[in-house]
Structure 1
Amino acid sequence: MSLGLASNSAMGGLRLSALGTRLVAENLANAETEGFGQRNLVPSSTLVNGHNTPIQRVADPVLLGATRRAESTHIHADVLNTGLAGLEHAFGLPGEADSLNGLVTSLASSLQQAATTPDSTAGLQTVAQDATRLAAKFNRTELQIQSIRQQADDSIAKDVGTLNDALARVAALNKDIQRQMLLGGDPNGLMDERQRVVSGIAQIIPVTEIPRENGRIMLLAANGQVLAENDHAQFGFAPTIGIGATDSLANGALAAVTLDGRALGPDSAITQSGRLGANLELRDTIAPGAQTRLDALAQDLLARFSGPQADTTLSHGEFGLFTLPVATTSPADATGLAGKLSLSTRFDPVTDTGLWRLRTGLNAVAPGPTSDPANLTRMAEALDKSTTLFSGTPAHDLTTHVAAQVSALATARLQAENDLSFAQAHHTALQEDFARSGVDTDTQMQRLLTLERAYAANARVLSAVDGMMRNLLEI
């Protein structure tokens, strides 16, 4: 080997070692950075000659895709679990004094006690106060259900905006990466950013990444529609302010999410995973289902205290202890009824005005005998009467009905909790696998030692060549 060739080879080796050292430092510095793809140096003759610097970005596309799908499923399960826990809390847990079940039990107990001592004003006051608290609980529970729906609607609007921005970013990064590839630049930093953006999209909706030429990718939705490549798709959504119990997707009061102008139905593959789909399910299916249960209980409570079977001074179907604004009889459509439920205006538990009507009858023109418990007994028996809450379901007393509806919510929440635990374990396992496929600091330190030795060897070659050249020049 000539001295010139040896010198060039050693200089190329020094450049290779210096570049390798820089890459090791970059890998170590970004070992915990989300979306960072490990950089490896690919030695080649062009590099040694100083023309190009082939740097390979290492990423496992199969494992990355599996991790994104697992995260999408995990987030979907987490949103549903949080929503169901909120609904269960709104109804109240068994054993809590302020729960729906606890307040029904309190009213039943106070009615029985008042029937035992009908001449006690304190007993009548307790009945009125317990009835007031029960009606207020129905009102509050409806507000909490609609608050959960409103939060879901707000989250949908936020995610749709994030999706559109992220898809536009992917399309722009595709063009920038392709430009860098064609011009011989280093697109790896742009690829890191694109990976982070796509991972953010996968939290909202499930997506599949398909590699294309010149470093570009094509992003597909779960239904196969292209979301981003050279251009990007557009999601649409009109948020609703102040969602009420009667508002629904079916009656047009709530908006659907659209993709390039076409509405996504509840069975769309795009909404079966991710945060967007979970919030749509919570807003349009799960929370309205809880509202239906609450309204059915409110309607049953209203009916139990209506008519002569609960109070002989009432006409058939006339409201008794509980009432609704404007309406005089229970409506056929019970949607939103729980939020309107209130105490009869024929007596006032705050000022104790008209409390004798609880004992004598709400439509009585004058107080009856203070020792007559008949009316109070009928009201106490009204709570224990077996009625059917939904068509085809068994007849029960009100306490059992409330317990059954709360139990149904608890069962759904427990199932969601189990789904979340499974999804979380699966996601964590894949995250750990993906982390192991990233930067290994021990390997990087070993590589650094190898590069140090290579640098020293090439330096010695240059020193030897320099010595030979000096000897030749001295001849």
Structure 2
Amino acid sequence: MSLSSTMSTATSSLGNTSTQSQVLSKNISNSQTEGYVKRDAVTITNNTGGAQVLTVRSDDPVLQKQMLSAQSQAEGQDTLNTGLDQLKSLYGGNNYESAPSTYITKLRDAMQSYAAQPSERSLAETAVSAAQDVANSISATTQGISKVRAQADSDISDDVSKLNDLLSQFQTVNEAVTKATASGGDPNDALDQRDKIVSDISKLVGVSTVKRGNNDMALYTNDGTVLFDKLPRKVSFESTGAFGATTSGNPVYIDGVPLKAGTGGNTSAQGSIAASLQIRDTIAPQMQQQLDETARSLVTTFSETDATSGDSPLPGLFTWSDGSTQDGGTLVPGISESFKVNDAYVTSKNGDPTLLRDGGVNGSSYKWNTTGGVSYSKLLDSYVTGMENKHDIDPAVGLGDTSNVMDLSSNSVGWLESYRSASDSANETKAALSQRATEAYQNKTGVNLDEELSKMLDVEQSYKASTKLINAVDEMLKSLLEIA
């Protein structure tokens, strides 16, 4: 080998070493940068037989796909869990001290005490007070459900705004990637930014990626709807704001296609938007229906009937804005919003609590204690028995087709707890899966400082070897010139 070719090889090696050093330095400086994918300096042989160093981004599409899917599922489950916890809080603590079922049990006990001593006016007052607690609990829970739905609606609106913003950012970065790739430039920094944006999108909605020429990328939802293809697709949503028992929320449209809400305690929702839709449009409304059916059952159970025929029921202790009884096992949407204790029984509103014993709120034909006996308990006993007797309920509420008012209210709590139990279990599983998938991806694509520092030592040795070779050739050339 001639001295000139040796010098050329050494110089080339020095240049390659410099490139390797730059790559390693960048990796080390970005070891804590979120979304940074390490670069590898790969040495290849060119057409002239020399060596050349190329910078290669150490990505892994398979692990990235698994990570995105796991993130979407975990975010959806966590969002559902949060919504269910909010609904559970409407019932108070772990003993459900604020739940209608708790107050209905207390009402039953108060009614039994009054039936045992119907002459005691104070027990009549206690029973009416217990009934007011039931009505207040149902009213407060109804208002709470409306607030949870409104919060979910607001969260959807915020998430849709974030998604549109991320898709706009994705367009800018994707164009930078394709331009750098087409021109032979370095697209790696832009690729890091693009992957970070896709990761953020996956937490809002399930996303899959398709790569094309020049590193161009298209995005689709998990059910195949286009999110981005050359241009971002429009994600639209009109917030509802306030919610009542009969209010329906508006859908989320992606490229004109409505996004499906999640289903089940172990939710099918991928991303927070689908889970918020599930809370707003499925779980909270069904809980509201169960509350409405409980209110209807209480109106029916404590209704007054004609003392002679036992027919023509009219609201007694409990009433609502319509002022009628609704029997036959048919849901009355929104009845719980105006559900209350009849003023005719409330002392503070010039009512008489002993009407519970005697009847007659709806006129003389509805008065059972016609003799005015203070020990009369037939009507009170019928109310207590009625709370235990089964009657038809609407199967749409998800609690069977027959129940008594006691079981109906407690089964509603059990229904919610069953949902929460399934969600809690799934949340732990999906969070762990997301963590493992993320760790696997980061272990493959992230920067390991120990490895990078070890490589830096190897590069340093290569640099020293190249400089020694250059110095040796320089000494030889000097000797030749001196001889000449």
Q: Same fold (TM over 0.5)?
A: yes
1:263 aligns with 2:258: yes
Counterpart position of 1:451: 459
Q: Is the 8 A contact 1:43 1:54 kept in 2?
A: yes
Counterpart position of 1:251: none
3-state secondary structure, aligned to 1:55: strand
Q: Is the 8 A contact 2:152 2:277 kept in 1?
A: yes
Counterpart position of 1:163: 163
3-state secondary structure, aligned to 1:335: coil
1:417 aligns with 2:424: yes
3-state secondary structure, aligned to 1:43: strand
Q: Aligned ranges for residues 58-457 of structure 1 at < 5 Å?
A: 58-91=58-91, 95-248=95-248, 254-264=249-259, 272-308=269-305, 316-330=312-326, 334-348=332-346, 350=348, 353-361=351-359, 363=361, 368-391=372-395, 393=400, 395-438=402-445, 439-457=447-465
- Structure 1 distance, partners of 2:172, 2:43, is 31
Report Cα offsets for 1:378-436 as digits up to 9, x if no partner. 33233222222235946443222222222122222222222223322322222222122
Q: 2:452 corresponds to which letter in structure 1?
A: Q
Percent sequence identity over aligned pairs: 27
Give unpaired runs (5+ residues) of structure 2: none
Q: 2:291 corresponds to which letter in structure 1?
A: L
- Structure 2 distance, partners of 1:258, 1:353, is 54
Give the superposition deviation at 1:319: 1.0
Give unpaired runs (5+ residues) of structure 1: 249-253
- Structure 2 distance, partners of 1:352, 1:422, is 58
- Structure 1 distance, partners of 2:59, 2:175, is 20
- Structure 2 distance, partners of 1:381, 1:222, is 54
Question: What is the TM-score of this pair, normalised by structure 1?
Answer: 0.88
- Pair 474,168 (structure 1): closer, same or farther in 2 beyond 3 Å: same
Q: Is the 8 A contact 1:140 1:339 kept in 2?
A: no
Aligned length: 467
212-221 vs 190-199, greater mean Cα deviation? 212-221
Give the superposition deviation at 1:60: 0.5
- Pair 340,461 (structure 1): closer, same or farther in 2 beyond 3 Å: same
Q: 1:54 corresponds to which letter in structure 2?
A: L
- Structure 2 distance, partners of 1:169, 1:327, is 57
3-state secondary structure, aligned to 1:194: helix
Give the superposition deviation at 1:93: 6.6
48-57 vs 416-425, greater mean Cα deviation? 48-57
Q: C-alpha root-mean-square deviation of aligned residues, in Å?
A: 3.1
403-412 vs 352-361, greater mean Cα deviation? 352-361
Give the superposition deviation at 1:306: 0.9
3-state secondary structure, aligned to 1:42: strand
3-state secondary structure, aligned to 1:355: coil
- Structure 1 distance, partners of 2:71, 2:228, is 20
Report Cα offsets for 1:134-181 as digits up to 9, x if no partner. 111111111222222212211221222222222222222221112122
Q: Is the 8 A contact 1:313 1:362 kept in 2?
A: no
259-268 vs 96-105, greater mean Cα deviation? 259-268
- Pair 394,279 (structure 1): closer, same or farther in 2 beyond 3 Å: closer
Q: Is the 8 A contact 2:390 2:403 kept in 1?
A: yes
- Structure 2 distance, partners of 1:193, 1:151, is 31
- Structure 1 distance, partners of 2:138, 2:173, is 52
Give the superposition deviation at 1:106: 0.6
Give the superposition deviation at 1:336: 1.4
Q: Is the 8 A contact 2:227 2:254 kept in 1?
A: no
3-state secondary structure, aligned to 1:161: helix
Counterpart position of 1:8: 8
- Pair 314,358 (structure 1): closer, same or farther in 2 beyond 3 Å: farther
457-466 vs 233-242, greater mean Cα deviation? 457-466
Give the superposition deviation at 1:74: 1.5
